[in-house]
Amino acid sequence: MKQIKKLYDILLITSILLFIISIFLNSYSFSYSMILIFILLLAILTFVTGTIINKRQFYKKNITKYIILYFILLLSLTMFINRPRISFFSFKLLNSINIIPFKSIIRYLVGPININIKVMNILGNAVAFIPFSFLLILKDKKYYKLKNQFIYLGIVVLTIETLQLITSTGRFDIDDFILNIGGSLLFVFLLKKTKQIDQLKKIFYQDFNIPKLVRIIIWIIAFIFIVLVDIIMLVKMLTIKQELIQTFYVAEKSSCVNLEKIEMNGYNLYLNCVDVIYETDDFYQLPIQDALENKKLTRNKIKEKLTKKEVLWDGGTAIYVNPDENIAIILCQTLDGNKDIYVGNKNMRYNDNFCKNDDKS
């Protein structure tokens, strides 16, 4: 039994750490279903480990572990999965704050909004904290009282709503608070009214008289699946380096004859059969023309992020490249003051028609 407990503890801690690191590095490699399956596997392993050891003290400790796993799931869904990258506080989000009760709920109910969005935002928010309410009941009898549930849930929900606002991963909406708290309190009220709390509580404090061999087989299966998931996460972490440091995303056009000319402020930008997305230092992605126009990308930043390959004779015009990102940029700086920028794939070469003030390109 000691070996099983030791292996369980090592795997649980390792898995949680790997997951937290992975989701921070690249949340877009995860889906809702992947997160849910991963957390459920850890919860199943925790439960089966409890049935093998079959001691009340261990069952009680498991409740705390379920709460931790629930919070990992909750924070993943509300701040990382399919969310904007974390960037601490954007004043634009202040305009999206809603402190008027039922404003968003009414809009979702009566507005011309897709039924899936209505269900996700109303029903989804109403049931989101029910598992947490139930786990609180399992942990301590004081949470049988609606008042204690309201205080604890209120603090947690307000904290998450505030974190979403501060990290620019969501909006602060008082209706989310109403639905989160209301759904959970209704669930607790119904449990008390139907007198089901003690019956449900027993489920988490017994081994169901399952034969020991069967419990061990289930434990081994869950253990193996979690190890496989950990290996997948580790492989993704080791192969994500290039993606994390990538700055330019180049899509080559299959049928292209002429340069695409875009007039900028005081110069022209020419795209040589490519579309280019630039990722800013705070992880926002936008077309290179927008990045240049909004000063997110400057000539100096181009020089910093790419390697100078060649300097031409006409005043300082230079070619900068990054073969790994399949991009070459020519920064014109001619004696007659041309400041045009040419962008192409890594094989782009300087042409005699480039960097001319008569625009014959």
CA dist., res. 317 & res. 341, Å (int): 10
Are 300 and 329 in contact, with CB atoms under 8 Å apart? no
Cα 137 to Cα 131: distance, rounded to the nearest angstrom = 10
Measure the CA–CA gap between 231 and 238, rounded to whole angstroms: 11
Structural domain count of the chain: 2
Q: Do 18 and 159 reside in the same domain of the chain? A: yes
pLDDT at residue 123, rounded to an integer = 92
253 and 226 belong to one structural domain: no
Query: By residue range, what is the domain housing residue 267?
Result: 246-344
- The whole-angstrom separation of Cα 194 and Cα 108 is 32
Residues 211 and 287 in one domain: no
DSSP for residue 141:
G
Looking at residue 96, what is its pLDDT? Answer: 66
Rama region for 300: left / alpha / beta (φ>0; ψ in -120 to 50; rest): alpha
Beta bridge partners of 344: 328
Amino acid at 102: F
Q: Can you give the pLDDT at residue 361?
A: 43
133 found inside a domain: yes
Nearest to 177 by CA among 253, 97, 60, 118: 97
Structure token digits, residue 53 = 């050891």
Q: Is 356 part of a structural domain of the chain?
A: no
Point out the domain boundary residue: 183, 211, 242.
242
In a domain, 351, yes or no: no
Measured over the CA atoms of residue 233, residue 239, residue 245 and residue 250, the dihedral's sign is negative
Chain-centroid distance of CA 305 in Å reads 26
In a shared domain, residues 264 and 232:
no
Which sign does the torsion angle of CA 144, 146, 147, 153 carry?
positive
Q: CA 196, CA 202: separation in Å to the nearest integer?
A: 10
CA distance 19 to 44: 17
pLDDT of residue 360: 44
pLDDT at 292: 95
Nearest Cα residue to 191 out of 265, 133, 236:
133
What is the pLDDT, as a whole number, of residue 313?
A: 63
Same domain flag for 185 and 216: yes
Do 162 and 269 sit in the same domain of this protein?
no
Residue 360 lies in a domain: no
Evaluate whether 325 touches 252 at the Cβ level (below 8 Å). no
Question: 22 lies in a domain?
Answer: yes
Q: 245-266: string of b/e by CB count within 10 Å (b at 16+)?
A: eebbebeeeeeeeebeebeeee
Paired tokens of 348: 């782009």
Residue 354: inside a domain: no
The confidence score (pLDDT) of residue 91 equals 57
The per-residue DSSP string of 63-84 comes to HHHHHHHHHHHHHHHHHTTTSP
The answer on 229 and 82 residing in a single domain is yes
Contact residues for 176 (Cβ-Cβ < 8 A; gap 6+): 104, 125, 157, 161
Let me know whether 238 and 336 are in one domain: no
| Token couple for 120 | 């996700």
Looking at the fold, whether 253 and 277 belong to one and the same domain comes out as yes
Q: Is 309 within the bounds of a domain?
A: yes
The answer to the question of residue 298 being in a domain is yes
- Cα distances (angstroms) measured from residue 356 to each of 19, 256, 316, 318, 359: 53, 21, 14, 14, 6
- Tell me: do 338 and 205 sit in the same domain: no
* Mean pLDDT, the chain cut into blocks of 10 residues (361 residues total): 90 95 79 90 95 90 95 90 65 71 87 75 92 93 94 94 82 91 95 90 87 93 95 82 71 85 93 92 84 92 88 81 92 89 93 76 43
Give the whole-angstrom CA distance, residue 143 versus residue 150: 9
* Nearest CA-CA partner of 11 in 36, 44, 45, 34: 45
Amino acid residing at 321: V
Residues 180 and 284 in one domain: no
User: Quick one: tokens of 244?
Assistant: 């994390």
Does 135 lie in the same domain as 17?
A: yes
